């Protein structure tokens, strides 16, 4: 087989169209890897939407009669569990020659945990169901931490620079289509019975298992093994000022993920059944925003993830300012107002997600991506708790104060992003 035949294989040609580059730039191996990345990430992202703790699991615990404390613990378990364990995993992963197995195992474990949640919903009630679901979610979150800390390294060694944003962007847009269907069914009232919701959670488990199988088929080159001494993560934080600045930018931009519940609260719909409708609308807004923007944000991130972070921060600040203006004008309770503000904010949120991932992969030295990812995510886990506490403190004054605080954070994060080093054009 000639070199041209290899470069122009169906997989390389398809991936070249997705990445927007000449097929001659992509060989058959990278083409196959790119399509596997997209397929596995799409399955994983659909599963995330089907088991969203803010929406699906909270509703499920209420339907099962679990004490409110369990529902209140879902989001902290999910967010902290997905970030903080990475500090314990990073150096062990550095000792492995092939890191794709960590992601595949983490995805499979998420699938098993999701199936356990569905089983608990079928078999248990009350406090027992709440405890079982929270424990399974903790396992799922820790498995997600393993996927997160290993993925950037695997992506960096299997997909070339300037094509990585297209991979995550297309996966986000493709996955959002399935989440949109689920959200519409949820809002329509067809999924207000326990059975269909549990089927959706079980389906999420199947998707994670499928993602693990697809990802395991990557052609991953052998990585240089680290010593696993537990020092690389802290050395990265200590020695790399660019990493510290990036973490500060990302920390300020966590406001885009923390603000949505306050927008729903500000819209003030109190009628019976409004809670499920509001949460369904939030899911729909996020999925629609992802579908329309993730691929665009991903391509822009391949051009300049620094600029994408700046634009996303500014867009989030504008969306939150519009929400506050509508509240001041007495219009935030209109049927269109809350979803419109949420949609604008979610556009910005997905820009932050695409750009932060691309920037970190492109900035980190090739042999230190795992340590950089773990360092960033560990610090962000702590900053998420602090930012959430800040919003809670401001909410004592009112949801308007919380939104104003998050708008300032987003604007500051966008402005600080412009001081980051350009990494794509190097």
- When pLDDT is cut at 50, 70 and 90, the band that residue 277 belongs to is low
pLDDT > 90 in the chain, percent: 33
Quick one: average pLDDT of 102-117?
A: 97
Q: Which of 130-139, 212-221, 254-263, 267-276 has the lowest mean pLDDT?
A: 267-276
- When pLDDT is cut at 50, 70 and 90, the band that residue 148 belongs to is confident
Higher per-residue confidence, 271 vs 144: 144
Q: Residue 271 pLDDT > 50, yes or no? A: no
Quick one: average pLDDT of 51-66?
A: 81
Helix (H), strand (E) counts: the chain = 18, 0
pLDDT of the residue at 7: 45
- When pLDDT is cut at 50, 70 and 90, the band that residue 69 belongs to is low
pLDDT of the residue at 68: 67
Q: Residue 137 pLDDT > 90, yes or no? A: yes
pLDDT of the residue at 392: 62
pLDDT of the residue at 231: 56
Residue 160 three-state SS: coil
The span from the CA of 38 to the CA of 32, in Å, is 10
Q: Which two tokens stand for residue 318?
A: 């504008």
Q: Residue 2 pLDDT > 50, yes or no? A: no
- When pLDDT is cut at 50, 70 and 90, the band that residue 78 belongs to is confident
- Decide if 149 contacts 16 (C-beta within 8 A): no
Quick one: average pLDDT of 388-408?
A: 79
Higher per-residue confidence, 69 vs 49: 49
Higher per-residue confidence, 226 vs 331: 331
Q: pTM to 2 decimals?
A: 0.71
- Decide if 403 contacts 263 (C-beta within 8 A): yes
Q: Residue 382 pLDDT > 90, yes or no? A: no
pLDDT of the residue at 274: 52
pLDDT of the residue at 230: 55
Quick one: average pLDDT of 380-388?
A: 77
Quick one: average pLDDT of 275-284?
A: 68
- Decide if 422 contacts 162 (C-beta within 8 A): no
- When pLDDT is cut at 50, 70 and 90, the band that residue 5 belongs to is very low
Q: Which two tokens stand for residue 330?
A: 């007495």
- For 240-277, b where at least 16 C-beta lie within 10 A, e where not — what string? beebbebbbbbbbbbbbbbbbbbbbbbbeeeeeeeebe
pLDDT of the residue at 117: 97
pLDDT of the residue at 8: 64
pLDDT of the residue at 4: 43
pLDDT of the residue at 273: 47
For residue range 196-208, what is the model confidence (pLDDT) as tens digits?
Answer: 889 999 999 999 9
Mean pLDDT of the chain: 83
Which residue from 219, 166, 169, 225 is spatially nearest to 16, judged by alpha carbons? Answer: 166
Q: Which residue's entry shows tokens 């809350």?
A: 338
For residue range 349-361, what is the model confidence (pLDDT) as tens digits?
Answer: 989 988 998 898 8
Higher per-residue confidence, 230 vs 203: 203
Residue 54 three-state SS: helix
Which residue from 153, 165, 308 is spatially nearest to 246, judged by alpha carbons? Answer: 308
The CATH class for the domain spanning 26-217+229-417 reads mainly alpha
Q: How many CA atoms are closer than 13 Å to the CA of 357, on its beta-carbon side?
A: 28
| Per-position DSSP letters for 349-360, written without gaps between them | HHHHHHHHHHHH
Quick one: average pLDDT of 124-132?
A: 93
Q: Residue 144 pLDDT > 90, yes or no? A: yes
Domain ranges of the chain: 26-217+229-417
């Amino acid at each position: 087989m000639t070199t041209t035949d290899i470069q122009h294989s169906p997989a390389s040609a398809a991936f070249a169209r997705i990445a927007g580059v000449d097929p001659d730039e992509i060989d058959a191996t990278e083409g196959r890897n790119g399509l596997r990345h997209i397929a596995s990430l799409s399955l994983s992202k659909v599963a995330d939407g089907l088991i969203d703790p803010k929406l699906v699991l909270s509703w499920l615990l209420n339907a099962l009669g679990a004490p409110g404390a369990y529902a209140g613990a879902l989001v902290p378990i999910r967010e902290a569990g997905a970030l903080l364990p990475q500090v314990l995993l990073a150096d062990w992963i550095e000792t492995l020659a092939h890191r794709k197995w960590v992601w595949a195992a983490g995805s499979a474990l998420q699938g098993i945990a999701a199936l356990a949640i569905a089983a608990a919903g079928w078999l248990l009630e009350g406090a027992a169901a709440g405890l079982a679901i929270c424990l399974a979610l903790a396992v799922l979150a820790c498995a997600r931490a393993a996927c997160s800390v290993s993925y950037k390294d695997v992506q960096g060694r299997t997909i070339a620079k300037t094509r990585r944003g297209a991979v995550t962007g297309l996966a986000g847009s493709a996955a959002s289509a399935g989440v949109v269907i689920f959200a519409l069914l949820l809002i329509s009232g067809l999924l207000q019975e326990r059975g269909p919701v549990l089927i959706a959670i079980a389906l999420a488990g199947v998707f994670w298992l499928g993602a693990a199988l697809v990802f395991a088929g990557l052609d991953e080159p052998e990585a240089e093994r680290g010593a696993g001494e537990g020092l690389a993560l802290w050395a990265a934080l200590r020695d790399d000022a660019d990493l510290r600045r990036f973490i500060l930018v990302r920390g300020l931009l966590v406001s885009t993920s923390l603000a949505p519940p306050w927008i729903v609260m500000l819209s003030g719909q109190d009628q019976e059944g409004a809670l499920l409708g509001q949460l369904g609308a939030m899911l729909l807004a996020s999925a629609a925003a992802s579908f329309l923007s993730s691929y665009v944000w991903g391509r822009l991130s391949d051009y300049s993830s620094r600029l994408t972070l700046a634009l996303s921060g500014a867009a989030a600040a504008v969306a939150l300012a519009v929400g506050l203006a509508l509240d001041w004008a007495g219009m935030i309770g209109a049927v269109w107002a809350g979803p419109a503000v949420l949609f604008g904010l979610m556009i910005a949120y997905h820009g932050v997600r695409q750009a932060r991932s691309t920037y970190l992969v492109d900035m980190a030295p090739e042999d230190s991506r795992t340590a950089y990812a773990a360092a960033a995510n560990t610090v962000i886990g702590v900053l998420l708790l602090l930012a959430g506490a800040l919003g809670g403190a401001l909410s004592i004054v009112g949801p308007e104060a919380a939104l104003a605080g998050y708008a300032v954070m987003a604007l500051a994060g966008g402005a600080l992003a412009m001081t980051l080093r350009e990494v794509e054009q190097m």
